[in-house]
Structure 1
Amino acid sequence: MADKFRIISWNLRHTIGAGAVQVSELIAQTRPDLMLMQEVEETMAALPAQLGGNYTRIALPGRHHGLAAWSPHDFTAQPGGLDLQPGLIVRRVCQLLECGGFTVANVHLSHGQWLNRRQLRRIAAQMPERAAILGDCNMIGAPFLPGFADVGARIATHRMSGMVPLRLDRCFLRGVDCLYATVLPRGASDHHPLLVDVR
């Protein structure tokens, strides 16, 4: 791995949130090695035409949106997915990406506070020793995830009903060091992008 590997995770807010133009602008400004996205519609497939690089998307079962990732680098293995314990309404999956020396899980977990922690533990059990889990965890409070460090910036990433500040977007690392973490302006979404530099 290079001296620094930059990852951004952003819940775009499907239908009315950030689109390919806003994502392209953020990538141009921040130059990530990996851009993770949640609530991504099919139209985001235009991203490589604007920026080059590699793009992959996995839809949530029965939904028009899902999880996606863009990178200027080649993925070192075919991106995959993992079915998670279903919620009452939405069936959840996570996206698994091999990034040259460690594995990244792109997640959008359920709202239930017991269920999302079960989903997180299921993901962690499938990950190798060097691993990162990032995304919209819909989680309030401690994750109870042994072996992983919660390294995301301790700043609210979402305001429920536009008022209550919550830190829903997280980054958990195992066997990987965090060099820097912050949140970025939210733009057209209702979530702030989470930026982490790892090594």
Structure 2
Amino acid sequence: MTTSLQSGASFKILSWNLYRWEGASLEDVLTVIRAEDPDIVVMQEAQTAVDELPEILGGYYDRIPLPGRPHGTACWSRLPFTRPPSFCRLPRGLLVKRTAQLIDFGSFSLANVHLSHGQILNRRQLRSISANMRHRAVIMGDFNLVGPVLLPGFLDVGPKEKTHRMLNHVPLRLDRCLVRGLSRLEARALPRFGSDHRPISVTLRLGA
């Protein structure tokens, strides 16, 4: 039997778009985990190399490739999953079929996302994800969104710094953290290395 976090408990989540085979390596991911000591790490554009994380660190792990792609979303956690992670198919754009990785921790649910470009489609995808989650919920990852999120019931509690440079020049805040039924204790964008995205770290507290 797994034990869920209780109301008032806090935990740290780290999110990082690894930038497929050109970006962050397994060693880069391990460096960040050892430096930041997160409870949960969600990754986007993750490939098979990160499948070694549970062998090295223990814990709980799952990776879901995008349809027809070698990379996808992955989650490593010190906290146990209450059931095997699943995914939901998202309203699709013109090029990429996208899914959201859904992880249930009992007292809250977590969606690891790499959303499509385009404000309208992006918000449709977020509404689709939120319908599959507990009241206490975290949606975190690469949103590919430059404007406000506008998802009813959720607050954007991620760091306000820019996390990505488009074409290595234009700074954008693409990596976000939305919560419902939780509060933020701390949020930081970590230094950029390995990938074209900066990792983001958010410490949250469960609401009543």
Band the TM-score falls in, shorter-chain normalisation: over 0.9
Q: How many corresponding residue pairs? A: 199
2:10 equivalent to 1:18: no
SS in 2 for 1:29: helix
Q: Percent identity?
A: 51
Structure 2 length as normaliser, TM-score?
0.93
DSSP 3-state at the match of 1:177: strand
TM-superposed deviation, 1:99? 2.1
Distance in 2 between residues matched to 1:14 and 1:8, nearest whole Å: 18
The DSSP-based 3-state class of the residue aligned with 1:105 is strand
Partner of 2:63: 57
Q: In the TM superposition, what are the counterparts of 1:17-96 in structure 2 within 5 Å?
A: 17-96=23-102
CA distance in 2, matches of 1:174, 1:73: 19
**Secondary structure of 2:87's partner?**
strand
Cα separation, 2, equivalents of 1:76 and 1:97: 8
SS in 2 for 1:140: coil
Shift of 1:47: 1.3
Aligned counterpart for 2:182 among listed residues 171, 176, 181: 176
Q: Find out whether 1:153 has 2:153 as its counterpart.
A: no
The TM-score normalised by the length of structure 1 is: 0.97
Q: Secondary structure at the match of 1:126?
A: coil
Runs (5+) with no aligned partner, structure 1: none
Is the Cα contact below 8 Å between 2:93 and 2:116 reproduced in 1? yes
Q: Is the 8 Å Cα contact of residues 119 and 147 (structure 2) preserved in structure 1?
A: no
Whole-angstrom CA distance in 1 between matches of 2:26 and 2:54: 10
What is the match of residue 142 of structure 1? 148
Tell me the residue number matched to 1:120: 126
> Aligned to 1:103, which of 109, 126, 141?
109
Question: 2 CA distance for matches of 1:20 and 1:52?
Answer: 15
Whether 2:191 is the aligned partner of 1:185: answer: yes
Measured in 2, the distance between the counterparts of 1:77 and 1:8 equals 21
Q: Distance in 2 between matches of 1:97 and 1:155?
A: 27
C-alpha RMSD of matched pairs (Å): 1.0
User: CA offsets, 1:66-97, max 9 Å, x none?
Assistant: 00000123212211110001111100000011
In structure 1, what is the equivalent of residue 137 of structure 2?
131
How far 1:138 sits from its partner (Å)?
0.1
Answer yes or no: is 1:198 the counterpart of 2:204: yes
Unaligned runs of 5+ in 2: none
CA distance in 1, matches of 2:78, 2:28: 17
